[in-house]
Chains A and B, each alone.
Chain A
Amino acid sequence: MNSRVDSITRPDPHPPSPSLLPTGAKRERLRKWRYFKDRFSRYGVAASGLGVVFALALIFIYLFSEVMPVLKPVTITPLHSYALSPEHGQGTVHLTVERYQEVGAQWSDTGEVRFFNTHDGSLRKALSLPLAPDDQITAFGRGDSRDGLVAYGLADGRVMLARVKYQLTYPDDQRYIDPQLEYPLGEAPLVLDPQGMALQNITIQQSGQSFAVAAHTEDGRIVLARFAATVSFMTGEVQINRLSYELPPLAVHSQAMLMDKSLRTLLIADQQGLVHYYDVSVPAQASLVQSQRVVPEDVAITAFEYLAGTVSVIIGASDGSLRQWFLVRDEQNVHHFTHIRQFQSHPAAIVHIAPEYTRKGFYVVDAAGHLGVHYATSHRSLAIESMGHGPLQFVAVSPINQALLVQDADGQLHFNTLFNAHPQVSFKALWHRVWYEGRAQEEYVWQSSSASDDFESKFSLIPLTIGTLKAALFAMLFAMPLAIMGAIYTAYFMTPRLRGLVKPSIEIMEALPTVILGFLAGLWLAPFVENNLPAVFSILMLMPLFMLLFGFFWLRLPNQVRLRIPPGWEAALLVPVVLIVGWLSVVMSPLLEIWLFDGSMRQWLTDIGINYDQRNALVVGIAMGFAVIPTIFSIAEDAVFNVPKHLTQGSLALGATAWQTVVGVVLPTASPGIFAAVMMGFGRAVGETMIVLMATGNSPVVNFNIFEGMRTLSANIAVELPETAVGSSHYRILFLAALVLFVLTFIVNTLAEVIRQRLRKRYSNL
C-alpha cells in the first residue's frame, strides 16, 4: 500500500510517453469483436459437429425409411360407385380394367362387351361379337389375364374367340384410349364339338400362334381342339388349321375348367368337390391322371382360377376357404395335383377370384360382401374387408395392381384405388422354407429375377445369411489362430527391434485394398489351390509339426550356437522352416495326388460325393482371413502388450516359466481384449464385399461345404442393387439386407469397443 502511494507522489524522473495501449473505447470494441469471434467459433463448430453426427445418423434413418414401406398395410379406398345404364349391366360373365385404369370392360352373357369410364360409369363404347341372332351362348371361358383372350361356347358346339385391344392415341397431347375387339381366329365361330352338342364349360389358352380350347359338352364328353392361324403369303388370307380330339369322358357335372399356358394340363373341377387332372401334352393320347378331392366333404368348389403363369390354382369353396394347389413332379417324373397351402378363410362362400397379371397375388370376393387380398408365395392374407355393398359378384384388378373394380349382386360397380406394393415380403417369405411353384418341396431359395415375366420371385434371405456366416466362419478359422498366437508372441516374447518391424508391416496389411486380395484369390489362389489341393492340407499338418521339430532341434544345438541368438528371435529363425515346408508341400503335391488320390484329388473328392468349385469357401477363407488377421492382430496385440508389467513379473518371480505366465496371468487378464479383437474381425469378415465377390462363384447355396462357393449379403447387394427397379420389393429387400449388415456390424463393434474401454479401465486400476 505504502509503496504505491509513494510511486504516485514521487516525481517521475522520466516524462511519461504517450500510452501505446488502445483507448478505452477501442478496447471495448476489440473486446466485443473478440467475444463475437469466440461465440461464432463456438456455435459454428457446434453446428458443424452436430451436423456431421446427424449426417452419420442419417445413414441409419435413411436405410430404415427405405425398408419401412414394406410393412405398410394394404389399403383399399372406395372412389366411385355407379350402375351402368339399365339396358346394359346385366348378365356379367367377366370384368376387367385396363393398364391406365381409365376404362373398365364388362363382358355379358349375350356376347356384348361394354367399355365404360371407371370414374363415373358412363359408357364409352359397346361392342358385340359378330354372332348370328339364333346363336345361343351357353359357356364362357378365358385365358391368361395378360393375353386377354376369351371364348364363348355356343349351344351348337361351336366356339367364338375374341380379345380386347386398347389403342392409344394422343390427340392434343392427351392420352385417349380406344378399346377394340380382335378376333385372332377370324370373325366366324369355329367348330369345337363335331357332334354339335351344347358346350357347358369351356376353357381357352394361347401358346405362341397355337390356341387350345377344351370344353365339357352337355352329354358329358370332353372335347379338345387345337387351332393354328397361318396367313397365306400370296393372298393374305387367314387359314385356320383345326385338330380336334375327344378326351376320356367324365361322368360328372363340371363346375369349371382350366388349361395351362404350355397346353399340357387340363383341370376340371366338378360339383362334388373333386378336381380331375388330364395330361394333354400329347392330345391324341390324353389321359385322366388323377381325380383328387380338394375341399372337405359337403363343401362345393365355387371358384377355380389359375394365378399368373398358370402353374398354381386357387380354389375357393362354399365354406369360404381358399386353397392353393399345383402340380408337383415326383421322382418318377409323374405329376401330382398337390395341396400347397391354405389362406385365411372368408366368412362366406367364395364367389369370384381375380389373379394379378404379373405377380402371384389374387383378389377374392365372397357372398357376404367381403373383399380379400391374398398373396400366394408369401402365404399372406393381406386384407379381408367388408365393402358394405351386400353380396359381391365380380372383382377385377388393374394390370399394375393399383385399382380394383368390384361388382355387387345388384349390378352396381364400385371403383377403388388400391395400395398393395409389397405383398411378397413377409417374415415367413424371408426366413422360412417356402414351397415355390414347380418345386418338389419347401425350400430356401434366393432367386430375385429371371427372363420371364410371370416368374415367381424367391426372396429367402437364408441362403445369403448362411453364405455370409460360412465365409466369415472359414475366414475366422484361418485368421483367429494365426492372429491371436501371433499377437501373443509379438507382444510378449518378441524383441523390441523385431516388433518395431512386424507391427507396422501387419498394420499396413490392414490398409491393403480388399479388391487386390480378391483378385489374387480369384485369379491366382483359386487355380493354385485347385492344382495343389494336397499341398494345402499338407501345409496345414506339416507346418506346426516342423516348427516344433525345429524348436526341439534348436534346444539340442550346442550352446555356443544357441546363445548367439538371444530369445525373442524365434520368429526370424523360423522363416527358413516356413519357406522350406511350404516349398516341399507344393513340390510333393502331385506325388501325393498320385499316391493317395489316384492322380487327382479334385476328381477323388467328386467321386466320394463332395462337390468341388474352383472358387470355393477354402479360397475365400484364406483370402478373407488374410484381410481379417491385421484387425485381430493389432487389437489383440495391444491388449496383451498393455497387461501391467508387475503382474507378469510377479508371476515370473514366483517361478513360473514364461509360457506359464502367459497362460496363467497374461491371457486371463487380456482375454476380454482378445475377445473384442475377434469380434471386430468377425464384423469385418461379415461385411467384406470384394473378396467374396471375386473369389466365389456367387451361387446362393445352403451348405457349409468348404469346397463350394456361397453368396453373401454384401456381394448380393453389389451384384443386384444397380439392376433393380427403384422402389420395388426387391430394391427394398436389398436395403433390408444392407440395414441388417449395418445393425449387425454396428452392434458387434460397439460391444467390442465397450469391452475394450472397460479393459482399459481395469488395467489402469491394477
Chain B
Amino acid sequence: MTLREWFKSGAPWVWLNAGAVTLSMVMVVGLLVLIAVRGFGHFWPAAVVETTITQPDGSQITVLGQVTRSQTLPASVIRDAGIEVAPEVTFVTRHLFKQGNRDVTGRDFVWYLQDGMDAWRYPAEVIMLERREWGNFYGYPVSLLEDGRVVTQGDEVFSELRTRVKRANDLHERIHHIERYEIGAVNFRMERVRLGERRLDLDDRIGDTERANRLAAFAEQREALNQEYRSYQQNLDALYRDLRRDVLVARTMDDREIQIPVGHIVRASQPNNMNVLQKSAYYLDRFWEFFSGYPREANTEGGIFPAIFGTVTMVLVMSIIVTPFGVLAAIYLREYAKQGPLLRMIRVSVYNLAGVPSIVFGVFGLGFFVYVMGGSIDRMFYPEALPAPTFGTPGLMWASLTLALLTLPVVIVATEEGLARIPSTIRQGSLALGATKAETLWRVVVPLATPAMMTGLILAIARAAGEVAPLMLVGVVKLAPNLPIDGNFPFIHLERKIMHLGFHIYDVGFQSPNVEAARPLVYATALTLVMLIIVLNLTAIGIRNHLREKYRGESD
C-alpha cells in the first residue's frame, strides 16, 4: 500500500484519533504519578551533600544541604539572570540546595552552578534538625549544654541529643495538651460567663435582686475559673522552664557555632548515617506526623490533621443535609409529580445546576446564608455577642449548607436514575397485592434504590471534598485556632471556621512567604486529597456497576 492509498483509506486519521486517547491517558497517568512521586518522596530522608565551590573570583565556599533538584539550561538564560558564566559555555547545570539554617544565612534554598563545584561528599556525622522555627538546620554537632554546663562533647553528642530531644518532645506534648484542652476549656467557659453577663445586661425583665444574685454567681464562677487558669499557668511555667534546660551547640557549614535550644528541635537525624531500615522508620514517623500533626511555621511544616478533620466534618454535615432533601426531591420528581412539559423543564433545570460554576454557589452562600440568614440568627439568638458575629460570619454551618446546595443535583440525578432503573413489574406486583403507593414506595422501591442513592451521596461527597472556590467565601480559613468538634458543650461548633485540604493546597502553595519550602508539603497534601477522591469515586463506580449487573438480571 502506498502512502497515498493509505491516506485515502483514512487509516492515518484513525491513528491520530488513537493518539488523542493515548495522549490523554498519558497525561492522566503522568499527573497522578507526578503527584504520587513528589508527595510520597517528601518524607524520605535524602542524603546531605557537602561540597566546596570555587567562585569566579577565586574564593571558596562550603555548601551543605540536600539537593532538591537539578537543571540544565542554556547559558544565556543564566546570564540574563545576572550571573556571570564564562563566554565559551553553552549549557549550565545548576543544583538547588536546601541548605536550611534560615536564622543564620537568611536563605534556605539556593541555586549553585555545577561549574567550580567539587565532588560531592556525604559526611556521616552531619546532623539534620527539624526545628519548630526557622526551618531545618544542617551542620555538625559540637557539644550539649545543660543549664549552661557542657554535658557531652564529640562523638557522643548525637545519641545524647536524641534522648534529650525525645524528652523535650514529651514536654511539648504536655504543654500542648494543657494549652489546647485544659486552658482551652477554661477560656471557653470564661467566654460563656462573659456572654452570660452581657445577656443579663440586655434583658430588662429581670428584677434587681435577681440580677444581683446572678451577677454574684457569675463573679464566683469567674473567680473559680481564674483560679483554675492560674494553676494551669504555673504548671505551664514549670514545663517551659524544663524545656529550656538543654541547649545544643552546633557548627554550620561556614564554621560558625550556634546554640540551638533542644526544646526547638522536633526531630534530629543523621541522614548519611542511616541504613534503609532506619530511613524507613524515619519515613513512617514523618508520614504519621503529617497525617496526625498540627501545622507549624505558617503551615509550611508539620501536619495537616486540622485540614483533614475540617474537610471530613464539613462533608459529614453536608451529607446529613443533602441526603434527605436530595432523595425526597428525586422521589417527588420521579414518583409523585405530574409528568409533563413543566416537570421536564424543572428536571432539566435541576440537572443543569450541576454545571453552574461553583463560585456562584459561593456568592449565594456568602450573601444569603452568611449575611442574611446568619445576620438574622445573630440578632435573634446571640444578641449578647454582638457586634462580634456568631453565625453572621463564614463558618462550618454555611460551608456545609452551600456545598449541600451545590451537590443536591448530583444526589437527585443519581437517585432518579436508580428509581428509573427499578423494573415497573416490581412496582406493579406490590400494588397488585394491595399495598398503597406509600407502602410500595417505602417498602419496595426505595430499599431497592438505596445503592443508587449511596452512589449519588458518594459522588456528592467526592465533589464536595474537592471544591474550594465557594469555600473561600463561606467559611474556610488558612489557620483555624480550634477544631469544629471538641470536648466543650455543645461539642459540634457549627459557627466555627474550619481548615480544608483543598484550600490548604491553595493557601500554602500560593500565599505562603516561602513557596520553595512549602512545595513538598503541598504535593503531599494534594496526594492525600487525590487519593481520597479517587477512592470515593471508585467506590461509587463499583456500586453503580454492581447495580447495573443486578438489575440487568432481574429485569430480563
Contacts and interface: CB of A to CB of B under 8 A. Distances in A.
A489 B362 CA distance: 38
Interface in B1-45: 1, 3, 6, 9-28, 31, 34-35
A519 B408 contact: no
A53 B437 CA distance: 23
Interface string B87-126: 0001100000000000000000000000000000000000
B107 to A, nearest CB: 19
Nearest to B436: A38
Contacts, number: 345
Contact of B506 (A63, A507, A518, A598): A518
B328 A502 contact: no
A608 interface: no
Interface stretch (A357-365, A432-440, A547-555): A547-555
A270 B439 CA distance: 91
Interface stretch (A17-25, A145-153, A743-751): A743-751
Given A38-B436, A482-B23, A508-B538, A59 B405 contact: yes
Interface in A131-176: none
B469 A548 contact: no
A543 to B, nearest CB: 7
Contacts of A507: 537, 541
Interface in A28-53: 34-35, 37-38, 40-42, 44-46, 48-53
A229 interface: no
Interface stretch (B188-196, B250-258, B332-340, B486-494): B332-340
Given A657-B10, A722-B472, A523 B16 contact: no
A742 B360 contact: yes
Kindly name the residue among A49, A688, A718, A749 whose own CB sees the greatest number of chain B CB atoms within 10 A. A49
A45 B331 contact: yes
A722 B328 CA distance: 34
Interface string A482-525: 11011011100110000000101111110111111011101110
A507 B533 CA distance: 12
Given A544-B16, A570-B14, A53 B472 contact: no
A40 B348 CA distance: 27
B282 to A, nearest CB: 26
Interface in B170-189: none
Contacts of A738: 359-360, 363-364
Given A50-B332, A512-B530, A599-B76, A687 B357 contact: yes
Given A513-B533, A520-B34, A544-B19, A482 B24 contact: yes
A754 B330 CA distance: 20
Given A513-B533, A687-B357, A660 B10 contact: yes
B468 interface: yes
Contact of A741 (B359, B412, B522, B526): B359
Contacts of B515: 523
B269 to A, nearest CB: 27
Interface in A584-634: 590, 593-594, 598-600, 602-603, 626, 629, 633
B326 interface: yes
Contact of B76 (A603, A684, A722): A603
B80 A603 contact: yes
Contacts of B77: 531, 593, 599-600, 602-603
A311 B378 CA distance: 44
B328 A657 contact: no
Kindly name the residue among B1, B31, B469, B502 whose own CB sees the greatest number of chain A CB atoms within 10 A. B469
B318 interface: no
A655 to B, nearest CB: 12
Contacts of B353: 56, 59, 746
A550 B76 contact: no
Interface string A706-725: 00000000100110011000
B74 interface: yes
A118 interface: no
B10 A663 contact: yes
Given A509-B28, A511-B466, A738-B359, A571 B14 contact: no
Interface residues on A, range: 35 or more
B471 to A, nearest CB: 10
B294 interface: no
Nearest to A484: B20
A552 B6 contact: yes
A683 B15 contact: no
A231 interface: no
B357 A714 contact: yes
A127 interface: no
B335 to A, nearest CB: 7
B83 interface: no
Given A38-B439, A519-B505, A600-B74, A513 B15 contact: no
Contacts of B12: 548, 551-552
A167 B26 CA distance: 72
B366 interface: yes
A548 B505 contact: no
Contact of A519 (B74, B330, B405, B522): B522
A718 B469 contact: yes
Contact of A59 (B21, B35, B364, B505): B364
A686 to B, nearest CB: 7
Interface residues on B, range: 35 or more
Contact of A48 (B27, B332, B362, B468): B332
Contact of A735 (B18, B329, B363): B363
Contact of A543 (B19, B360, B509, B510): B19
Given A37-B438, A599-B77, A741 B533 contact: no
Interface in A48-85: 48-53, 55-56, 58-59, 62-63, 66
Interface in A555-599: 555, 570-575, 577-579, 582, 590, 593-594, 598-599
Kindly name the residue among B23, B439, B510 whose own CB sees the greatest number of chain A CB atoms within 10 A. B23
B358 A49 contact: no
Where chain A touches its partner, the secondary structure class is helix
A659 interface: yes
B23 A543 contact: yes
A427 to B, nearest CB: 22
B366 A721 contact: yes
A531 B73 contact: yes
Contacts of A753: 348, 351-352
A690 B15 contact: no
A62 B364 contact: yes
A467 B333 CA distance: 39
A486 B76 contact: no
A726 B375 CA distance: 12
A92 to B, nearest CB: 41
B58 interface: no
Given A38-B439, A49-B336, A63-B364, A578 B17 contact: no
7 contacts: A37-B438, A46-B337, A63-B363, A516-B466, A574-B22, A575-B25, A659-B11
Interface of A: 34-35, 37-38, 40-42, 44-46, 48-53, 55-56, 58-59, 62-63, 66, 481-483, 485-486, 488-490, 493-494, 502, 504-509, 511-516, 518-520, 522-524, 531, 543-544, 547-548, 550-552, 555, 570-575, 577-579, 582, 590, 593-594, 598-600, 602-603, 626, 629, 633, 657-660, 662-663, 680, 683-684, 686-690, 693-694, 714, 717-718, 721-722, 726, 734-735, 738, 741-742, 745-746, 748-750, 753-754, 757
Interface of B: 1, 3, 6, 9-28, 31, 34-35, 71-77, 79-80, 90-91, 324-326, 328-333, 335-337, 346, 348-353, 355-364, 366-368, 371, 405, 408-409, 412, 436-439, 441-442, 459, 462-463, 465-469, 472-473, 502-503, 505-506, 509-510, 515, 519, 522, 526, 529-530, 533-534, 536-538, 541
Given A514-B468, A599-B74, 20 more contacts: A45-B332, A46-B337, A48-B325, A49-B329, A485-B19, A486-B17, A493-B14, A513-B468, A519-B510, A519-B522, A547-B19, A548-B15, A552-B6, A555-B1, A577-B22, A600-B76, A602-B77, A657-B9, A742-B356, A746-B352
